[in-house]
Amino acid sequence: MLVTRDADGEIHAVINACSHRGAQLTVTKRGNKPTFMCPYHGWVYDAAGTCVDVNDHASGNYPEYFNKLDHNLRKLGQVGVYRGFIFGSIVEDVEPLETWMGDSTVFIDMFVDQSPDGLEVLKGGVHYTTTSNWKLQLENPDGYHFFPVHTGYIALANRRDDAPKGTLKTIDVSQMQELPGAVYDLGHGHGTAWAWMPNGEERPLAKSREFPEEQFDKDRANWLIDCVRFQLMFPNLWL
């Protein structure tokens, strides 16, 4: 899949395979370029996937009826954008994006609204290979596993808690089981796991509490600052 933003800011999503013989157009994960030249025979496509040049078109043995515009890149069936997140479907016959997201937008909004500066996508990433049904990897939005699985995190938080007062900030794990938390089924396979955090004033966002309190209201600011949330957009996005 190739996702681009053209000179007018419009988003396009096409299959990352040349219309000629199917060669992969690009192997880079991100970049900035106006066109894509196929590394195999040199056909060129613009950011919208339109075939703008066919190598040797004039001098080669292309028949008269050959029209390069009949060989644009294959577009995804549907592409939609919500709060900066781009969603796509290979097939065209799907329900509207807003319907598919449903109440998940409430939590995506919380994710985006945490800062007046918006979101920053950090470089780097972690890649996993699994031989199982890959969608099962996503089915993890429960608090049930937290204490048995995340022992390293808990040990680290406890160790930081032992540091001389005021030198290190950390979550008070001992209170976590006492505070409210839940998992919401948001339909379409989406879900949210949330938990109220103890000593939320120690969280990095706490120092910018004024922004959500002024922008929204105190309740929403509490949800933004004091609550940890994990949002699953089935089948392949965790926020």
Give me the residues that bind ligand FES (CB under 6 A), please. Answer: 18, 20-21, 23, 38, 40-43
* Minimum distance, C-beta of residue 33 to ligand FES, in the bound complex (Å): 16
Give the shortest CB-71-to-ligand FES separation in angstroms: 9
Whichever of 18 and 233 has its CB closer to ligand FES, that residue is: 18
Closest distance to ligand FES from the beta carbon of 84 (Å): 32
Using the minimum distance from each CB to ligand FES, give the nearer residue, 41 or 159: 41
Q: Which is nearer to ligand FES, 27 or 126 (CB)?
A: 27
Structure tokens at 98: 């807003």
DSSP 64: T
φ/ψ of residue 37, rounded to 5:
-105, 125
Q: Give bridge partners of residue 64 from the DSSP assignment.
A: none
> Which of 5/41 has CB closer to ligand FES?
41
202 vs 215: CA distance, rounded Å? 21
Tally the C-alpha atoms within 13 A of residue 185's C-alpha that lie toward its C-beta: 3
Q: Which of 23, 27, 19 is nearest to 50 (CA)?
A: 19
Question: Smallest distance, Å, CB 176 to ligand FES?
Answer: 54
Residue 206, φ and ψ in degrees, nearest 5? -60, -30
